[in-house]
Amino acid sequence: MKALYIFVLSVLTFTACNRQNDAAVQPDRARRMAGTYQISLLTMQAGSQPSVSVPMPLQYNGQPLLSGAITITRKSENRVDATVAMTVNKSAIPANVDPALVQDQSYTSENLEIRDNGTGYDLFVDGDKIARFDDNTFTIQRVVANPQTGETYNVGLQAKK
């Protein structure tokens, strides 16, 4: 019986030293970040004006007026689609505003590349970084230009799972 234990122990020892098992398993980055994140902060800056940060959902008369979410859909280990959706609570719109002028908005960026950044991941589209993912928090920072005036707007979103 003692010989059997020694044999089993030596087989386990040699099996544990197998080089193929020592290779680090890469995490499926897309699976880790897939899901829906509630937007908790909206930051805006127009041209040279000071930046304005608005906690989300945006409240009006004690009711949520504007809320948003970022939905990440896994495409492959290192590719995702990201949809940013902003939803307007039509029942909270002030009486002097025509509800037909206020619409829900949704925008999808497809096939975003995921790259490690040391503490989390960065998301890229066509080589441009558009978002950062750390500790189940997404941060999006974009500069948008008004095609008619050329004025630039910095828009930022922060969302948590």
Arithmetic mean of pLDDT over the chain: 85
Q: Supply the pLDDT for residue 12.
A: 42
Entry field: residues in the chain: 161
Is the backbone peptide bond immediately before 50 cis, with ω within 30 degrees of 0? no
Domain boundaries, the chain: 24-160
Asked if 132 contacts 117 with a C-beta cutoff of 8 angstroms, the reply is: yes
Over residues 93-126, the pLDDT tens digits come to 888 988 888 899 999 999 999 999 999 999 999 9
Please give the Cα distance from 123 to 109 (Å, whole number).
Answer: 10
| pLDDT beyond 70 at 42 | yes
Looking at the predicted structure, is the pLDDT value of residue 19 above 80?
no
- Dist. CA 13–CA 21, nearest whole Å: 13
Mean pLDDT of 80-87: 96
13-17, 62-66, 74-78, 123-127: segment of lowest average pLDDT: 13-17
pLDDT band at 69; cut points 50, 70, 90: very high
pLDDT confidence of residue 7: 39
CA distances from 126 to 31, 107, 108, 112, 114 (A): 21, 17, 14, 8, 12
2.60.120, 2.30.30, 2.40.128, 2.60.40: which CATH number matches 24-160? 2.40.128
pLDDT given for residue 15 in this prediction: 41
Confidence of residue 76 (pLDDT cuts 50, 70, 90): very high
Per-residue confidence at 24, pLDDT binned at 50, 70, 90? low
Q: What is the mean pLDDT of residues 131-154?
A: 90
- Would you call 31 helix, strand, or coil by DSSP? helix
The SS3 call for residue 17 is coil
Say what the pLDDT of residue 26 is. Answer: 56
What pLDDT does 122 receive?
96
Mean pLDDT on 61-71: 94
Q: DSSP string covering 63-117, please?
A: EEEEEEEEEEEEEETTEEEEEEEEEE-GGGS-TTS-GGG---EEEEEEEEEEEE-
Cβ neighbours for 142, distance < 8 A, ≥ 6 positions apart: 130, 154, 155, 156
